[in-house]
Amino acid sequence: MFSGSFVALVTPFKDNFDIDYDAYGRLIDLQLENGTHGIVPCGCTGEAATLTHEEQKKLIAFAIDRIAGRVPVVAGTGSNNTAETLGLTQYAKDAGADGALMITPYYNKPTEAGVIAHYTTVAEEVGLPVMLYNVPGRTQLKMEPDTIAKLNEHPLIVSVKEACGSVDQVSQIRQRCDINIMSGDDPLTLPMMSVGASGVVSVAANILPGLVANLCNAFHAGDLAKAQELHYDLLPINKALFAETNPMPVKKILAEMGLIQDVLRLPLTSMLQEKYDGIKSVVQGYGLV
């Protein structure tokens, strides 16, 4: 199924907050040139919560067209209600996406029965492989391992992006079922892979695509020493990328690299200069700026 480094791609904006498709195309090209194994447009790092549905659809279609089948595209289509998720997921399937990343329904606080009904309804009606997105830090809703195992009984609920910050969570899931697991926490990529994850949906890959891809490649090749070396090489930047709310730091760094403008849509704002100054030496250590 899904394996390796899948970048949680940022959405670049112009000064007027319109989407910068020229920059978006360049970001996609950079990923493909550096060995990234998959692209995830319109996730949390892509500021999906501030995109209109039409913008989300255009970004998904643009990414699929630009990538042209060279790597899988798992489109962010999740919402806090099932009807919206159905519409976005159907569009992603029609556009040619290889899968859909669906965040757990936030704010509503559904029960386990509601969570299961939400995902299985979309899987049944659309027929596109589903990657669950378990990120309680953003949604205040944690899918327990038993719930994920129940969802995996559906043939199209095939993967989970695990962003609970817990290797034990991954172990508990793997003990119960063989669903494809992708780390949703960059610092835990290697530890999670050691207990059964197949790769990562990565923020760090936006700026260091080759290093993140090579970590995954080394692990899958059985070169644990190399994977460990890359894990420790990436630890400082992985910490720096969360010095403020994601994607504020990664967009600041990409702007410093000259790849995008440092523009986010409210309520997110550009990273405070004093915060960036606190991580600047780390960023410079990677030769990024």
Mean pLDDT across 251-265:
98
CA dist 164 and 183 (Å) reads 9
Mean pLDDT across 82-86:
97
| Number of structural domains in the chain | 1
Q: Band of the pLDDT at 177, cuts 50, 70, 90?
A: very high
Q: With beta carbons less than 8 A apart as the criterion, state whether 10 and 27 touch.
A: yes
Mean pLDDT across 31-36:
98
Q: Is residue 259 part of a domain?
A: no
Q: Which residues are designated catalytic? A: 133, 161
Q: Is residue 90 part of a domain?
A: yes
Residue closest to 217 by CA, chosen among 35, 10, 18? 35
- Domain that residue 74 falls in: 4-234
Mean pLDDT across 99-114:
95
pLDDT of residue 1 exceeding 90, the answer is no
Q: What is the DSSP letter of 48?
A: G
For 13, 54, 110, 163, the CA distances from 18, given in Å and listed in that order, are 5, 13, 34, 29
**CATH number of the domain enclosing 204:** 3.20.20.70
Q: Which two tokens stand for residue 140?
A: 């205040």
Q: What is the mean pLDDT of the chain?
A: 97
Q: With beta carbons less than 8 A apart as the criterion, state whether 154 and 122 touch.
A: no
Q: Is residue 258 part of a domain?
A: no
pLDDT in tens, 180-238: 999 999 999 999 999 999 999 999 999 999 999 999 999 999 999 999 999 999 999 99
Neighbours of 65 (CB within 10 A): 13
Q: Is residue 121 part of a domain?
A: yes
Location of structure tokens 């910068």? 20
pLDDT in tens, 111-144: 999 999 999 999 999 999 999 999 998 988 999 9
Pairing relation of β-strands 157-162 and 74-76?
A: unpaired
In this prediction, residue 140 carries a pLDDT of 86
The torsion defined by the Cα of 70, 6, 267 and 17, in degrees rounded to 10, comes to -20
